[in-house]
A and B are shown apart, each in its own frame.
Chain A
């Protein structure tokens, strides 16, 4: 099967997020860049599914500045085989324009014989959090879509997908081709191996500069939510704290009593 995964280059923030003076972007002077944890799971899932299916391609796509090629390399390093870079001048595109560009790629790939059975997204971008792009893409392609996916099995020409609902777990059968937005927790993403990283350096990234569709929502500014004061409870010191630590781990369900 063929799977397309869409990722977005975002700053990897530390504890405190600071914005640039004009409030339009995150101050990334001290930050590295990455993709969201949801997207990491999407990449991992694509690699696993194609490995399991015994054939096909995985394509990673991003829309962003030149530097976003780093994120494509990271995805190639964990096993994606094809990379597409929609190069912009770095300004954030609104969800409508982003979706339109991605739809363009899906159609162009289809014209060349790459039919993507699945288009995977992270549930929301880590920085802007619009929640819109996967749905707009699905609608434009007239494909079934599902968000919040935390479990996924391919069954022939459809996919059995699970997600958390308000009253428990929901299970869906989604016929392919489909668009899915997945959540962190879907799987445990692998780290790139050394051979993986070295192979990724040699893959030719297909880069184009798409036209930006106008008319979508415009961001006015970003706002950092008020920080909640972290509560710190000291469990104890030294070896005497061990029983309290065990109790805590048990209550979190990380350790069996």
Chain B
């Protein structure tokens, strides 16, 4: 074999499908002097790629996974390694069949995919070997196929080698990764050392071990998925090719089956979870087969065998069809089930691409190569970014607990409001005990336990009766309560007190702090001292006429951070506390992304300091009809106009604690946020609640604030509304673009000049009665169509789907938001939404960020 070169432009460790696809794309994008090493032989290096069933379902379980699979399938087809055979998702229960109807709705919003619900007879016509008597039906996805992944990897490596860009070295073991002052400098192998300042780990289950060589870590764990091959199958004796009928997935016993030549391969996700440790992986010499084909534990698979026999009696009830291959297959499992891609925060120049399965690898490789070569990630990679993990999410115990739970929940009917139950109570608000004492029903965001509603508010149900829009269908009522709607109404009539302590909070200090933030922000941050209010392009309207004078430089501005392409990074509140001290506040789920974004743009000359203060402050919100009186009573401040306009910031005392009072109007009507030290949180909460008593103030949870009140006010959801490449113009929140430079300004100007192809609108459901007369409540993701069931598509080919959904108790209706093609974006337009396969008439109530419910005159004060 040739000698290792002494240096390389980039070293890729791992020659499975991920590493092979990556070198191919790096070469295509112009890099050369690439070196790929693997401890194993080619073409099957002994990693997870080698034993995989290599199925690519199309469409996949979500929009982003489907997009990646589409790209990968296109690449596999170009290589000639893809066989389309179709896939059948079987249904044994009415709930599962209903769920397929729901999925068909989502699929309609992702593209022009074929998907059909089949009867047992139709299934049997496609797959005569199935015993359809155990089935109620199934979902047929004809574009599904299988891939020869080993061959694909070989072709991709050969292409890069033939182009002179790559040298690949199998049977070469990495012994160490060299790091100097937090930068990678090369690797050491059993055949010599190679210098490079770019090292990319594509080592599959060996990922944690490789990262550790460089003093880095990647939060995933190896885990087992069992697989057997049964044959010879008598019925396959004279069939052509490797596979000629659809792949089968049986979601209730959690098994799948596909033909491989004369055998039937059966895999299971239904056995007990079996995580693995990287130091228990045998070497190639020690392994009986390969290091990722571990000894089979037959007892664990017996239930799956029974299910397989039940499905395919004609194939498997045959003494001559033997279980002639059986493994506990090893692959990578992450806490959220998604790939993990990016530059390691511990070591510059060290990248990793982990937990990337065959259906994703070519797409991920193309995107990652673009990121490496051009330095800017496409937004498509964001859900997979290594930077998404918070510190607690990198702990091994967390990864194992979540990977275990995700394993047991594989193939479950995925509810949009689903909460996981493992690894909870990672982060508590300073007032957590108060919330629990009030019967808070907690949901998790970014590890925080956040109230969705309070059981202590149950008496409000008697006050509001049927105005709380009760839900009778069990799916619609999951992780929801009519108490949330009662809180909404109580907030409007009295006041709502919200604990906001879980919000992401960053302190920015230094002489250039304000100017720096101003350069990242759509709205002016008041970098110029004494700047008057007026037209600054802030959210939805004027900042408050008398803003400047009374508040001095202290003000709060609602703004957006954009990337250079005009995509929305986040929607934040910037509070200027002092001339050289500002706070950036985002939602709890934004913390990791904000931390990465702000850090990445930080100047290196020391004029700006950034500190992640999340959790160091407590924060309380006061909203609703009597919020002004509540804040005045609690703090002694005169919080009425004109003394305290929107955006104002004041110091005050609350229950003996020093607080910063900020008028943010975040929920539409006048609203105040009180920021204070975490240790003072409890006394401030108690004081606010006490002051609220006589005014009808109640604690309110996140369903009331982040969903229902927000929807009625025509306000955008930070997490749900800026998806899919829609920008500020189409979200209906772009005002005039200010003259001063900021990141994304050119792109925003271009968006303004081009005009919207779609606009985010609020729709009301006209008639919620489903097939049996029961009122149904859409959850989000559903397709929006004409009354004739034609999916709405805008001029840029984007299909309309519900971005968020919730009750409007003030109106007595269910509300949805969706980006509608401009020709349909008008108040009164009659449309429909499809939910579980049924159409429901809807009407456009508001276009852009117009509210559906105007704040009442008294609350405007």
Contacts and interface: CB of A to CB of B under 8 A. Distances in A.
Interface of A: 12-16, 18, 29-33, 70, 73-74, 79, 190-198, 201
Contacts of B550: none
Nearest to B230: A194
Interface stretch (B87-95, B321-329, B731-739): B321-329
B316 to A, nearest CB: 5
A15 B287 CA distance: 7
Given A198-B302, A198-B306, A201-B302, A193 B288 contact: no
Contacts of B286: 14-16, 18, 30
Given A30-B280, A30-B294, 20 more contacts: A12-B288, A14-B282, A14-B285, A14-B286, A15-B285, A15-B286, A16-B285, A29-B280, A29-B282, A30-B286, A30-B295, A33-B295, A70-B298, A192-B322, A193-B321, A194-B230, A194-B321, A195-B316, A195-B319, A198-B302
Nearest to B229: A191
A196 B295 contact: no
Contact of B296 (A16, A29, A32): A32
B309 interface: yes
A194 B295 contact: no
B324 A195 contact: no
A5 to B, nearest CB: 18
Given A30-B280, A32-B295, A197 B285 contact: no
B158 to A, nearest CB: 11
Interface residues of B, number: 27
Contacts of A197: 298, 302, 305, 323
B308 interface: yes
A191 B324 contact: yes
A18 B302 CA distance: 31
A61 B294 CA distance: 27
Contacts of A195: 309, 316-317, 319
Nearest to B319: A193
Interface in B306-352: 306, 308-309, 316-324
Contacts, number: 73
A77 to B, nearest CB: 8
- Please name the 6 residue pairs, one residue from A and one from B, whose CB atoms are nearest each other, closest first: A191-B322, A32-B295, A30-B282, A16-B285, A191-B324, A14-B288
A193 B287 contact: no
Contacts of B294: 30, 32
B298 A73 contact: yes
Contact of B288 (A13, A18, A70, A73): A13
B294 to A, nearest CB: 8
27 contacts: A12-B295, A13-B288, A14-B282, A14-B287, A14-B288, A14-B289, A15-B285, A18-B286, A30-B286, A30-B295, A32-B288, A32-B296, A73-B298, A74-B298, A190-B320, A191-B322, A191-B323, A193-B319, A193-B320, A194-B308, A194-B317, A194-B323, A195-B316, A196-B319, A197-B305, A197-B323, A198-B309
B276 to A, nearest CB: 11
A224 to B, nearest CB: 12
Contacts of A29: 280, 282
Q: Identify the interface centre among B280, B295, B296, B317: most chain A CB within 10 Å of its CB.
A: B295
A193 B285 CA distance: 30
A241 to B, nearest CB: 15
A193 B316 contact: yes
A198 B230 CA distance: 14
Given A30-B286, A31-B288, A193 B280 contact: no
Contacts of A79: 319
A15 B41 CA distance: 15
Interface string B224-249: 00000010000000000000000000
Contacts of B306: 198
A252 B294 CA distance: 32
Contact of B309 (A73, A190, A194, A201): A194
A190 B286 CA distance: 26
Contacts of B287: 14, 30
A190 to B, nearest CB: 6
B132 to A, nearest CB: 19
A73 B324 CA distance: 16
Contacts of A191: 322-324
B304 to A, nearest CB: 10
Interface string B137-176: 0000000000000000000000000000000000000000
A33 B297 CA distance: 10
A33 B288 CA distance: 11
B305 to A, nearest CB: 5
Nearest to B295: A32
A12 B280 CA distance: 17
Contacts of B285: 14-16
Contact of A194 (B280, B289, B305): B305
Contacts of B230: 193-194
Contacts of A18: 286
B296 A193 contact: no
B280 A190 contact: no
Nearest to B289: A14
Nearest to B288: A14
A151 B511 CA distance: 93
A126 to B, nearest CB: 13
A32 B299 CA distance: 13
A159 B772 CA distance: 75
A186 B321 CA distance: 21
A25 to B, nearest CB: 15
Give the residue among A15, A33, A191, A201 with the most B Cβ atoms within 10 A.
A191
A211 B817 CA distance: 78
